[in-house]
Amino acid sequence: MSAASTANTASRDGVRTVAARVLATALEAKSPVGALLETARVGLSSRDQGLLHELVLGTLRWLRFVDFVLETAAARPLSKIDADLVPTLRVAVYQLLYLDRLPSHAVVHAAVEDIKRRSHRGAAGFANAILRKVAQRRDPTKRSIEWPIDTGDPIEDLATETSYPTFLVRRWVERFGKERAASALAAGNRRAGFQLTCLLDRDELAAELAIEGVETQPAEISARGLYVLAGDPRKTGAFRVGKFYIQDQASQAAALIPMPAAGDRILDVAAAPGGKSFSLLAAEPGVSLVAADVSLARVLRLRSNRERLRCGFGVVVSSGEQPGFGGGFDRVIVDLPCTGTGTFARHPELKWRISEGELSRLAGRSLEMLIPSADLVAVGGRLCAITCSLEREENEDVVAEFLDRRPDFELETLELTPEHASFVAGPGHWRVLPSAKHDGFTVHVVRRRR
């Protein structure tokens, strides 16, 4: 093996060690994995950064199935395995199950060597035995067949195979039906790619990006959206001069329920980092927009995005509960706190933080934002509540409680553009489930009667 090959192998092995450490921190401290990855990748080559992201996000995405395979191979529950070994074993099992660029023996060797450096010989031998069992049945195209699941409970089996909490799978099957639930579960396990909000002509931007090696296609549910098929749009001149904003097409669409009109006075509450505001301006540059957020750090990030995109609108540090300015807005948009069950593809760590108790807590927080925000809506104006969640407690139940407390509002009959109309779920209620090309979002629109 050449010196360069040896260096590359050492680098990859080091990345696996870092990946195990990031994985453990993300699960134990419940830290946002994106921020952890940003810190961990400093000093790594672009290739190693890509491997780090794949190992961490992939293991989080498939954590339950990875643990099932790990326990099966070890013939013992996870709780009976040395906790210090588990992150390294999880990353290695994920790599054996889902990645095929390296031969099995290289994956096993790297994990065992890492454990040797941090533990005793017996631990390394134990890890070697487990990982060799997994490697012997390695077939990334037939994971569930190679590792059959049969608990006697079809929901439990589906939850293990698709790698989700059982309670969430059960509620999605009961609410959406088995077929739609299975589709949403699969969508949450996809590798989420880049999607763009075009501030200029979409076809012209697509042609310009193609010249720089970025292949795109039009988004299905956003007239201003592009779906990136290949290439990194962040490395283009179009990005540097602010011709687009990176944003999931379902998020783009949610901000436009219903479409704004020229001259509308709009307040975007909890606006940072600015996606909803940029979608509104892209769709209708003639709106008068104020973007507010309670966090100074987030407001600074929003302002930075606004400057790159060369958008003209006001940005203030404020909260929906105590805005500090007058009302009379034609539309107030409130991005409600939620569990993010529509965004697992981008934030797989959220799977392992959600609980039914958390749903109730966040619903209460949402009401605390909605009720005072309603005072800022002009008579005849709209209050739009948006979440990236599919759960009833965070959406329908919150809005029902709001309407009980604010009888001066009522659900509005939605009249939408063709690309949005098919997602109307009821009066004032718009919902798009996760798919192979976008996240899931829910919007409720209520109008102030008096």
Q: How high is the pLDDT of residue 173? A: 97
Beta carbons within 8 Å of 338's beta carbon, 6+ residues apart: 362, 366, 387, 388, 389, 391, 394
Q: How much is the average pLDDT of 403-412?
A: 97
* Angle 73-77-81 from CA coordinates, rounded to 5°: 85
At 11, the amino acid letter reads S
Q: How high is the pLDDT of residue 70? A: 96
> How would you classify the pairing of strands 377-387 and 409-411?
unpaired
Cα–Cα dist 12/33, whole Å:
20
Cα–Cα dist 311/282, whole Å:
10
**8-state DSSP, 435:** B
Q: How high is the pLDDT of residue 169? A: 97
31 has pLDDT over 80: no
Beta carbons within 8 Å of 279's beta carbon, 6+ residues apart: 197, 222, 224, 247, 251, 252, 255, 256
Q: How high is the pLDDT of residue 129? A: 95
Q: How much is the average pLDDT of 286-313?
A: 91
Q: How high is the pLDDT of residue 208? A: 97
pLDDT tens digits, residue range 84-93? 999 999 999 9
CA 160 distance to own-chain centroid? 20
> How would you classify the pairing of strands 265-269 and 329-335?
parallel
| Residue 101 pLDDT grade (very low, low, confident, very high; cuts 50, 70, 90) | confident
CA 446 distance to own-chain centroid? 26
Q: Are 331 and 381 in contact (CB under 8 A)?
A: yes
Q: How high is the pLDDT of residue 421? A: 94
| Residue 171 pLDDT grade (very low, low, confident, very high; cuts 50, 70, 90) | very high
| Residue 138 pLDDT grade (very low, low, confident, very high; cuts 50, 70, 90) | confident
Share of the chain above pLDDT 90, in %: 78
Q: How much is the average pLDDT of 193-201?
A: 94
Report how far apart, in Å, the C-alpha atoms of 77 and of each of 102, 123, 354 are. 28, 16, 22
pLDDT tens digits, residue range 347-357? 999 999 998 88
324 has pLDDT over 80: no
Q: How high is the pLDDT of residue 431? A: 97
| pTM of the shown model | 0.90
Cα–Cα dist 276/283, whole Å:
11
Taking only Cα atoms into account, the Rg of the chain, rounded to an integer number of angstroms, comes to 24
Q: How high is the pLDDT of residue 417? A: 92
The listed range with the strongest mean pLDDT (45-49, 122-126, 400-404) is 400-404
Q: Which of 397, 411, 265, 389 is nearest to 332 (CA)?
A: 265
5 has pLDDT over 60: no
Least confident of 27-36, 68-77, 153-162, 185-194: 27-36
Q: How high is the pLDDT of residue 13? A: 57
pLDDT tens digits, residue range 409-431? 999 999 999 999 999 999 999 99
Cα–Cα dist 46/441, whole Å:
32
Cα–Cα dist 325/373, whole Å:
11
Cα–Cα dist 130/234, whole Å:
41
| Residue 320 pLDDT grade (very low, low, confident, very high; cuts 50, 70, 90) | low
Higher pLDDT, 6 or 366: 366
| Residue 315 pLDDT grade (very low, low, confident, very high; cuts 50, 70, 90) | confident
- In the chain, the domains with their CATH numbers are 3-142 (1.10.940.10), 249-448 (3.40.50.150)
Q: How many CB atoms lie within 10 A of CB 85?
A: 20
Q: Are 93 and 171 in contact (CB under 8 A)?
A: no
Q: Which residues pair with 438 in a beta bridge?
A: 435
Q: Which of 344, 351, 329, 224 is nearest to 276 (CA)?
A: 224
Q: How high is the pLDDT of residue 3? A: 35
Q: How high is the pLDDT of residue 312? A: 83
